[in-house]
Amino acid sequence: MTEQLIIFDTTLRDGEQSPGASMTKEEKVRIAKQLEKLGVNVIEAGFAAASPGDFEAIQAVSKAIKKSTVCSLARAVESDIEKAGNAIKGAASKRIHTFIATSPIHMENKLRMTSDQVLARAVQAVKWALNFTDDVEFSAEDAVRSDISFLIEVFDAVIQAGAKTINVPDTVGYSIPHAWGERVGTLIANVPNAGSVIWSTHCHNDLGMAVANSLSAVINGARQVECTINGLGERAGNASLEEIVMAIKTRKDIFNLETSINTTEIVPASRLVSTITGYPVQPNKAIVGANAFAHESGIHQDGVLKHRETYEIMRAEDVGWGANKISLGKLSGRNAFKTRLAEIGIEVESDDMLNAAFDRFKELADKKAEIFDEDIHALVSEEYVEVSVDLYKLISLKSQSETGTIPSASIKISISGVEHAAEVSGNGPVDATFKAIESIVNSQSELLLFSVNNITSGTDAQGEVTVRLSKGGRVVNGLGADIDIVIASAKAYLNALNKLFSKLERAHPQI
Ligand SMILES: [Zn+2]
């Protein structure tokens, strides 16, 4: 029988620590349901002690998920572990992931603890966690810069205390593949009773080697990999789930391992995470980038047409490309709409919200013949922010651009129900639109990022625009979708403003 590699997804915890990617409870549940469909073994849903919002989101995920294990992160602090334990209480299968730093630089400067104190606390943390679940994972933060004999001592002690999974993280993305594999291999060879636990690795991508380092750990005995969809994560991100999974599957000759991932759900998961967080996927990203399976050169195209394997090592349909199903059309009614929402994991909380989303769906169906699941996710993402905040709303927009003239935009928006209008010129229709909004709102925020993506292929596809704004240290991503990209841009800008000024609870882990 082939051994299993456990896929531990931390999109909802480590991924969420990306600037502006913090999610609401409802958004976390939608992603968690897709992760469950994808077949991940463990969903790290958040860091319960980080904020009341994060606590509630973990609770909601615990309730919604039946097949995957739901996990909360917790520092090696009793109150953190208690919150984690309470947050996952309702889960069918639950895990607490507790951690403490073991490197001299972290112990001295951050924790201000001696190594003896750290060792004792690690053991204590595992014991506290066992009061809530027998599935306890322990991480030695900054293991990459920790003394190996101290790591062996700590891991030995926490295994004796009852930890079932031992995670070796490269918190700062410092390692390189052969060194990381060797480190994990050395630990497994030298920690007493190493065979009684699952060894895990958690790598960051600061040097672009998160996936390579993770796979090197796997070759050396790790049987759990911590990763995120699209490699989402703070700084350069985490190891990307899709790359790990497809490497294991495509190079079975080397790894001889299996995962429980239904790979055809990879692209839908990637799309959903990108839509909700406002982090677009680069076109040349492996597996999930728009060009990942595009063969442009004539020699390649010729080869692929004659015999696919000449240039293709994977099939696009195996990772879910081209699988977007036409989900609804112009004639679909409210009930069909509601049913489809439920099928793709969206629970509408009130009739008002359903009606508003249905109206938008009708508007879109008038302009676009085929409505895909991705369109519905984009539409609902917008609706949630507006219904829950309802501060800034787009009423109408007219933008003009013509060669040889100065572009201008004339916009009407409502602020808490009161209509305002402005007409402003700019360097382009989008610039003019943003300036027009600012001439009314005067948010004093800074525009950090503007990007446009297609939600589905084809020129009648909706354009999806991400706008990242920052103000007073707070960063938010706004999202707008429309078949007209200038309108999508206006929606994204207003969506970002709504998030910036909303009191809606968002999880905001700091560690
Ligand atoms: Zn991390």
What domains, with CATH codes, occur in the chain?
A: 3-277 (3.20.20.70), 390-501 (3.30.160.270)
**Which of 157, 163, 152 lies closest to 126, judged by CA?**
163
222, 200 contact by CB (below 8 A): yes
Give 173 Cα–ligand 1 centroid separation in angstroms.
9
CA 220 to ligand 1 center in whole angstroms: 21
Cα–ligand 1 centroid distance for 95 (angstroms): 17
Q: CB–CB of 354/348 below 8 Å?
A: yes
Ligand 1: centre distance to CA 203 (Å): 7
Residues 6+ apart with CB under 8 A from 444: 471
Ligand 1 centroid–CA 473 distance in Å is 22
Q: Which pLDDT belongs to residue 20?
A: 82
Alpha carbon of 137 to ligand 1 centroid (Å): 14
Query: How far is the centre of ligand 1, averaged over its atoms, from the C-alpha of 254 (Å)?
Result: 27
Q: How far is the CA of 64 from the centre of ligand 1 (A)?
A: 25
Q: What are the distances in angstroms from CA 37 to CA 29, 30, 467?
A: 12, 11, 29
- What is the Å distance from ligand 1's center to 14 Cα? 5
pLDDT at 511: 29
According to the model, what pLDDT value does residue 376 have?
81
CA of 150 to the centre of ligand 1 (A): 21
pLDDT value of residue 362? 85
Q: How many A from CA of 332 to the centre of ligand 1?
A: 43
Return the closest-CA partner of residue 102 out of 150, 55, 134, 63. Answer: 150
**HEC per residue, 295-334:** CCCHHHHHHHHHCHHHCCCCCHHHHCCCCCCEEECCCCCH
For residues 239 and 205, the answer to whether their CB atoms sit within 8 Å is: yes
Q: What are the tokens at 188?
A: 């497994």
What pLDDT is stored for residue 457 in this prediction? 64
Q: What's the CA gap between 352 and 135, in Å, rounded?
A: 41
CA atoms of 9 and 3, how far apart (whole Å): 19
Q: For the chain, 511 residues long, give each residue's pLDDT as a single digit of tens.
A: 789 999 999 999 999 988 888 888 888 999 999 999 999 999 999 999 999 999 999 999 999 999 999 999 999 999 999 999 999 999 999 999 999 999 999 999 999 999 999 999 999 999 999 999 999 999 999 999 999 999 999 999 999 999 999 999 999 999 999 999 999 999 999 999 999 999 999 999 999 999 999 999 999 999 999 999 999 999 999 999 999 999 999 999 999 999 999 999 999 899 899 888 888 888 889 999 888 887 666 666 677 677 777 777 898 889 988 655 566 777 788 888 888 887 776 777 788 888 888 888 888 888 776 777 777 877 777 666 555 556 888 999 999 989 999 999 999 999 888 999 999 999 999 999 999 999 999 999 999 989 887 766 666 677 888 899 988 878 888 888 888 999 999 999 998 898 888 765 555 433 2
Centre of ligand 1 to C-alpha 204, Å, is 6
Helix (H) / strand (E) containing 212: helix 210-219
**Residue 284 DSSP label:** T
CA of 169 from ligand 1 middle (Å) equals: 7
Burial 164-176 (b: 16+ CB within 10 A, else e): bbbbbbbbbbbbe
- For residue 325, how far is its CA from the centre of ligand 1 (angstroms)? 34
- Report the distance separating Cα 142 and Cα 103, nearest Å: 6
Question: Residue 467, SS3?
Answer: strand
Q: What is the pLDDT of residue 508?
A: 46
Rounded distance between C-alpha atoms, residue 114 and residue 99, angstroms? 16
**Cβ neighbours for 76, distance < 8 A, ≥ 6 positions apart:** 98, 99, 100, 121, 122, 124, 125
Task: Report which of 233, 178, 229, 225 is spatially closest to residue 204, judged by C-alpha positions.
Answer: 233
Q: Which residues are known binding-site members for Mn(2+)? A: 14, 202, 204, 238
Task: Tell me how far the alpha carbon of residue 238 lies from the centroid of ligand 1, in angstroms.
Answer: 7
Residues contacting residue 142 through CB under 8 Å, at least 6 positions apart: 101, 102, 103, 105, 106, 169, 171, 172
Query: In the prediction, which pLDDT does 193 show?
Result: 96
CA distance 495 to 500: 9
Binding residues are 14, 202, 204, 238
CA 389 from centre of chain: 23
Distances in Å between the Cα of 407 and the Cα atoms of 273, 397, 399, 464, 491 are 34, 13, 7, 22, 19
Cα atoms found within 13 Å of the Cα of residue 398, Cβ hemisphere only: 4
| Cα 263 to ligand 1 centroid, rounded to whole Å | 24
Ligand 1 centroid to Cα of residue 248, in Å, is 22
| Distance from the alpha carbon of residue 511 to the mean position of ligand 1, in angstroms | 9
Q: Distance, CA 396 to ligand 1 centroid (Å)?
A: 43
pLDDT of residue 510: 30
Q: What tokens does 99 get?
A: 């951690």
**Structure tokens of 356?**
């508003």
pTM (two decimals)? 0.83
pLDDT given for residue 320 in this prediction: 87
Instruction: Output the CA 224–ligand 1 centroid distance in Å.
Output: 14
